Chain A
């Protein structure tokens, strides 16, 4: 069962193999190329009234259209931000602050990203009530529970599109229809979903959508918020200068906006090919690992998932031992934000995993640049290191 690859052939891959595409992706070289002229010649402030400024502004607006096109939105409804954390803060706090005199109830899910949950907690301190829905053992939301949670006081439903730890895809079409029917605003944190799965703000009745640059092979430090401005109003989180329709002040970072636009354009073109590539690689990895390592199982729904995000419990393997054995793989034991702390994953806890199983779980993330050789090396490593490792229980 153990493949003696390294003894018979030179290492086929660079070690450690980067398998943490949910934490961040490398910037696509085509994106870097698109950004470069805005550092060297076209460096104007996009708000300046001269040729340098107009040139920058025109390029930002092309980027705005590229972002909008990927999600079926109008360019006027795209607000550039510093990243998905800011987008989520602006969507949730901004909406709540704009409507606090009318409705003060928010529905979200326990498996949301920290910046969504923290924004909700901040609003609870300010007098809002928040319902945190649970998920089933496969990580999915129960639509009947969602319907039951919505009251006449409900302002917002915030549900992420693709979970950052386990990769499951929530039923956005159904959630959107429920929200529209009930007359509540639907926000989705799509940081892990944009350019990975097809998204359409019209078909899915999405009112607010958070987008991150560095999760889709674009640069860090930039994101966007889709705002259906015909339906919802926001109070800005940051004031001063009134840029972006008054929703987000601050000098636009032209190279970053251009980079996000290019990443969205390339991502849209590559989405189907990327998905097929990742599906193939993930199946190749899972078929071998789940069969060969006793007690290994995939967390989250088996099919309603983004293939590039695999979260696997190696039951009975001590967490520290697990990471030490797999140090040739750059992987994560949960979300990057929580990596530095020792808190167990609240996402896996919501699926009903025991603390012990949570400690024995890792996230393995594949991406556009991942090769078959890397996946084979990863599978070989996992099987070789973990098949024989002692278990704390049988």
Chain B
């Protein structure tokens, strides 16, 4: 196929920003290790400091709260493995990069339930906090990667802090979609990933705003990042992260454009297919994400058919796609296998326009019609 497929999988990775790519190419061409004391090293250190300021401004935190990492997986691992707390509380819809280190940390883990709309249940959080007097590290993501549902971070933080706990927020899917200020104002730690909002893959950050956050590095060595994360800094990647953060921060208002596109798509789908289900539609959601179930049609089949028709969408999170596995997020929302297994994720971004959505809607309806015809024939 000559035409590039229409890309509607921004939550897996966003299309890189051209300005970001230009910044990276410039840095790649110059030698310089930020730890070196000579001119080339100092230039590299200055570039690193500038990027740190850009990311700090984007996240509304002081620059010294930011530790650059190889991505959000590393940041989440650092937050969990590096914190001194004896017990963990995590929501039932966290990303694997929170669930797995929590499970393997050797500390007791309590899960917080979510509602049918995919919002964490604050009463369940409070009950978990009350289970013990020992201070807990609590992990609640800001925005779910599969449904786009926004979590009540301010309220959760109030409860966590009342019980002497520490709150870590995986803010990966919030960055570039909603203002991070109201999140980092309440969270003690937060994780970011550059490639989810137009920056490069291979770079992220852990924000630490408290004294009882991650203190023990996961990667030990040359003492970079104030001893929290060893390894020569990924300078070009970090420069790209900074530029993408500045652009995304400036263009947050454009998110409204995506809400209109997304809402129009959902309305048209529900009109054409009254049995279709939009996951978390009644909850507050970021504007770019839609998790759509076409009953009776396996998600993998849909993704394949959309690919053949020239659309890139996903059957859940990119990490678990490939291994056909039931979504733990939709299961936590109480969805049975039939509907959860029929849900695809459509995620929009800075390069998505109305024509893309119109074309996608046409293809969705064609698939829906085919599935209904097949159903009628077999009935």
| Complex-state Cα separation, A340 to B74, whole angstroms | 25
Which of B35, B104, B193 is within 8 Å of A337, CB to CB?
B35
Which of B29, B98, B318 gathers the greatest number of chain A CB atoms within 10 Å? B318
* Given A26-B29, A29-B29, residue A240 in contact with residue B76 (CB < 8 A): yes
Assess whether A237 is interfacial by the CB under 8 Å rule. Answer: yes
Assess whether B290 is interfacial by the CB under 8 Å rule. Answer: no
* Given A24-B33, A50-B314, residue A220 in contact with residue B232 (CB < 8 A): yes
| Complex-state Cα separation, A330 to B98, whole angstroms | 42
Assess whether A357 is interfacial by the CB under 8 Å rule. Answer: no
Which of A47, A242, A337 is within 8 Å of B223, CB to CB?
A337
| Complex-state Cα separation, A309 to B77, whole angstroms | 36
A26 contacts B315, C-beta separation under 8 Å: no
The residue of chain B having its C-beta at the shortest distance from the C-beta of A16 within the complex is B39
Assess whether B83 is interfacial by the CB under 8 Å rule. Answer: no
CB contact list, A21-67 vs B, under 8 A: 23-27, 29, 32, 35-36, 39-41, 43-45, 47-53
Which of B33, B40, B74, B103 is within 8 Å of A250, CB to CB?
B74
Which of B9, B24, B72 is within 8 Å of A50, CB to CB?
B9
Interface string of A298-332 (1 = CB under 8 A from B): 00000000000000000000000001000100111
| Complex-state Cα separation, A240 to B104, whole angstroms | 10
By a CB distance below 8 angstroms, the chain B residues around A331 are: 38
Q: How many residues of B contact A (CB 8 A)?
A: 78
By a CB distance below 8 angstroms, the chain B residues around A293 are: none
| Complex-state Cα separation, A83 to B54, whole angstroms | 24
* Given A44-B13, A238-B101, residue A256 in contact with residue B38 (CB < 8 A): no
Q: Is the interface of A mostly helix, strand, loop or mixed?
A: loop
Assess whether A214 is interfacial by the CB under 8 Å rule. Answer: yes
The residue of chain B having its C-beta at the shortest distance from the C-beta of A248 within the complex is B73
The residue of chain A having its C-beta at the shortest distance from the C-beta of B231 within the complex is A85
| Complex-state Cα separation, A377 to B223, whole angstroms | 34
By a CB distance below 8 angstroms, the chain A residues around B193 are: 251
| Complex-state Cα separation, A240 to B69, whole angstroms | 15
By a CB distance below 8 angstroms, the chain A residues around B71 are: 82, 250-251, 253
Assess whether A145 is interfacial by the CB under 8 Å rule. Answer: no
Assess whether A239 is interfacial by the CB under 8 Å rule. Answer: yes
Q: Ordered nearest first, which 10 A-B pairs have the shortest CB separation?
A: A221-B234, A115-B221, A240-B97, A253-B202, A337-B222, A82-B70, A85-B231, A250-B73, A239-B100, A241-B319
Interface positions of A (Cβ within 8 A of B): 16, 18, 20, 23-27, 29, 32, 35-36, 39-41, 43-45, 47-53, 81-86, 88-89, 113-116, 118-119, 121-122, 212, 214, 219-222, 237-243, 249-256, 323, 327, 330-333, 335-341
The 20 sampled A-B contact pairs (Cβ below 8 Å) are A18-B40, A20-B31, A20-B33, A20-B40, A24-B32, A26-B31, A36-B21, A44-B9, A44-B312, A48-B318, A51-B312, A115-B221, A121-B220, A214-B33, A219-B236, A221-B236, A221-B237, A241-B320, A253-B71, A256-B202
